[in-house]
Amino acid sequence: MRFRVGALSASLLVFFAAALYASPDLPARILALVPGDRRAEVGEIVANPTFVRVLEFEARADLRVYTYLLDHPDLNAALGRALGIASYRVVHIGPRQYRGNDGSGNVGTIEVLSDEGQERAFMERGLSPGWWFGEIKGRVVALIGFSSEGERVRGTVTLWARIDQGFVDRLLRLLEPMVGGFLDWKLREQLSIAFRVAETASQHTGQFCPLLGELSGDSPDERQALAGLAGCWRVEG
């Protein structure tokens, strides 16, 4: 079974760059969320980023389903592929840690730094082949705050991106207005796919629940938990 979203996401999903501005209290807030052994690296990135992106989002989806997908990037990616809206693959490699690739040479890891309450914190380390400068390494720290109003989820994503090659880092700082989305593409895609999967679960349960049951992999408990959140009666492991 293959169910494509298309018009659904076009009509229900709003996801846009709000401004290249982050509130000055955000670095302290994200440092308070992350584990102690990650604070030094996170602090280094948010104190001296190559650039900062602030994204706002709104979607017609169940907040519990959306946050569950955020907290389980491997399940989110698998459902995105099943729906025909994503091509990348993500595997679980350790507690709160995932590794993925988009099939085009871009690879990286995602770490869930905090998954409590109405905020999420992530760190991504990525490697891109690059067109002009060879392989480009970078890191992104993301802080996501969200809330629900009726059937809609609203929130803000703040991304601090750091390019680890000195020359490219300096160049992108100069060109920030034109290349502000260079390194945050994977997290932007991750968030967008989670919205579209959550929208399908909320608006098209009859298609979503059988599709969830057809998934195979190493996470039957996670699939069963998501089935409960989405209102499916039972998903076979």
Which are the contacts of 79, defined by CB distance < 8 A and separation ≥ 6? 69, 197, 211, 212, 215
Return the pLDDT at 7: 32
Return the pLDDT at 111: 92
Closest among 83, 74, 60, 66 to 10, alpha carbons compared:
60
**Residues 94-150: pLDDT tens digits?**
998 999 887 777 788 999 999 888 889 999 888 777 655 567 788 889 898 888 888
What strand order describes the sheet that includes 152-163? 14-19, 51-60, 152-163, 136-149, 119-128, 107-114, 97-101, 89-94
Q: Looking up tokens 């002009």, which residue turns up?
A: 132
**Coil, helix or strand at residue 17:** strand
Is residue 2 a part of any domain in this protein?
no
Number of domains in the chain: 1
Return the pLDDT at 169: 59
Is residue 1 a part of any domain in this protein?
no
Is residue 236 a part of any domain in this protein?
no
**pLDDT class of 156 with cuts at 50, 70, 90:** confident
**Residues 16-66: pLDDT tens digits?**
333 344 556 677 888 888 888 889 999 999 988 887 888 877 878 888 998
Closest among 100, 152, 106, 147 to 122, alpha carbons compared:
100
Return the pLDDT at 16: 38
- CATH number for the domain that contains residue 59: 3.30.530.20
Strands (E) across the chain are located at 14-19, 51-60, 89-94, 97-101, 107-114, 119-128, 136-149, 152-163
**pLDDT over 50 (residue 78):** yes
Is residue 17 a part of any domain in this protein?
yes
Mean pLDDT across the chain: 76
Closest among 231, 230, 207, 209 to 5, alpha carbons compared:
207
Return the pLDDT at 4: 35
Residue 62 domain boundaries: 7-230
Question: Which one has a higher pLDDT value, 207 or 186?
Answer: 207
Is residue 19 a part of any domain in this protein?
yes
Q: CA 227 → CA 68, 75, 205, 212, 232, distances in Å? A: 11, 12, 10, 7, 5
**pLDDT over 60 (residue 183):** no
Is residue 110 a part of any domain in this protein?
yes
**pLDDT over 70 (residue 79):** yes
Average pLDDT of the residues in 78-99: 88
